[in-house]
Amino acid sequence: MQKFKAYRTFQDDKDVSSRFVEMTLDELDPGDVVVKTKYSTINYKDALSYKGAGKIMRKYPTVGGIDMAGTVDTSSDPRFKHGDKVIVHAYDLGVAHDGGYSEYVRVPGDWVVKRSPNMTAFEAMTLGTAGFTAAQAIELMQHNGLTPRSGPVIVSGATGGVGSVAIDILAKLGYHVVALTGKEKESDYLRSIGAAEVVLRQSLDLTKIRPLEKATWAGAVDNLGGDVLAWMLANMKQGGTVASVGLAADTRLTTTVMPFILRGVQLLGVNSSECPMPLRQKLWDRLANEWRPTRVQSKVVTIDFADLPTHFDAFLKGMVRGRTVVRVGADTVGL
């Protein structure tokens, strides 16, 4: 039986560690569709799970990688056939079901997104879960009333994957985007992907947040949680929308009800893992077409599969800029 390479996470006693192994298709978790991987990515969640942090991985051993793009090899699901161009991400992929850090994945047909003919596997993974989540957050905010005329939109964790793609899409849609970052040296990068203004996190006094501050932001995409999210809530304009996406700084939120009851602020939760397939497919099609974040896509870092383990720690230290694509089984760039 054909063997292939995978990066699998194991638990030995209480220690969690990951390593490259050879596997066969029969050893992968079950599914109706076998997909040959071309590219995967690194997300913050992948960086947490490879050594067992944050209780992200729920089963051991599991192949990591919450994203992949490639072509269907075989399928017993009539919706897919050999050669179909697809994306698989979210659900249990890479956390409780063997994931995208593998030359093949085997998944339920219900998890498989049909890739637009306008989007290569490489382009899909320049976005990955982070880019998809940015699109989901913006869709949710617009659904709840945000328009470019509402006022400025602030994005935290701006140099990260979700932040960068959110800035690019929002700017493309005509929003005045303010990037909130901890990295002064990345100001030019943030402006180059669409930020109209850059605010340094160090310039905020997060120790004294009043229940209501100056009404400034019409929208906010938050990747950090904690004090930054509390500060955003206090600074929202009347009817403002806040998408809570991440926890890169803190899982806690200490705030008051004042922004909600006096300014009608809407705090919107974003969970890309469970996004229903019709909306998932619609957002991927938009990302391939009218929302295509070309500025971020042109600035990704691409790494070889063999180098994957050396790249996780930079994510945990908040040192990464934009998106990182992993070349897994790509024999032909552009498919």
Using CB under 6 A, list all residues that contact ligand NAP: 43-45, 129-130, 133, 157-163, 181-183, 201, 223-224, 245-249, 270-273, 315, 318, 320
**Smallest distance, ligand NAP to C-beta of residue 203, A:** 12
User: Closer to ligand NAP at the Cβ: 107 or 127?
Assistant: 127
User: Closer to ligand NAP at the Cβ: 188 or 331?
Assistant: 188
User: Closer to ligand NAP at the Cβ: 106 or 161?
Assistant: 161
3-state secondary structure the chain: CCCEEEEEEEEECCEEEEEEEEECHHHCCCCCEEEEEEEEEECHHHHHHCCCHHHCCCCCCEECCCEEEEEEEEECCCCCCCCCEEEEECCCECCCECCCCECEEEECHHHEEECCCCCCHHHHHHHHHHHHHHHHHHHHHHHCCCCHHHCCEEECCCCCHHHHHHHHHHHHCCCCEEEEECCHHHHHHHHHCCCCEEEEHHHCCCCCCCCCCCCCEEEEEECCCHHHHHHHHHCEEEEEEEEECCCCCCCCCCCCCHHHHHHCCEEEECCCCCCCHHHHHHHHHHHHCCCCCHHHHCCCEEEEHHHHHHHHHHHHCCCCCCCEEEECCCCCCCC
User: Closer to ligand NAP at the Cβ: 201 or 295?
Assistant: 201
User: Closer to ligand NAP at the Cβ: 309 or 318?
Assistant: 318
**Smallest distance, ligand NAP to C-beta of residue 193, A:** 12
**Smallest distance, ligand NAP to C-beta of residue 327, A:** 19
**Smallest distance, ligand NAP to C-beta of residue 181, A:** 3
User: Closer to ligand NAP at the Cβ: 70 or 128?
Assistant: 128
**Smallest distance, ligand NAP to C-beta of residue 200, A:** 9
**Smallest distance, ligand NAP to C-beta of residue 317, A:** 7
Residue closest to ligand NAP when measured from CB atoms: 160
**Smallest distance, ligand NAP to C-beta of residue 283, A:** 12
User: Closer to ligand NAP at the Cβ: 23 or 193?
Assistant: 193
Q: Cβ neighbours of residue 232 under 8 Å, at least 6 residues apart? A: 154, 156, 217, 220, 222, 242
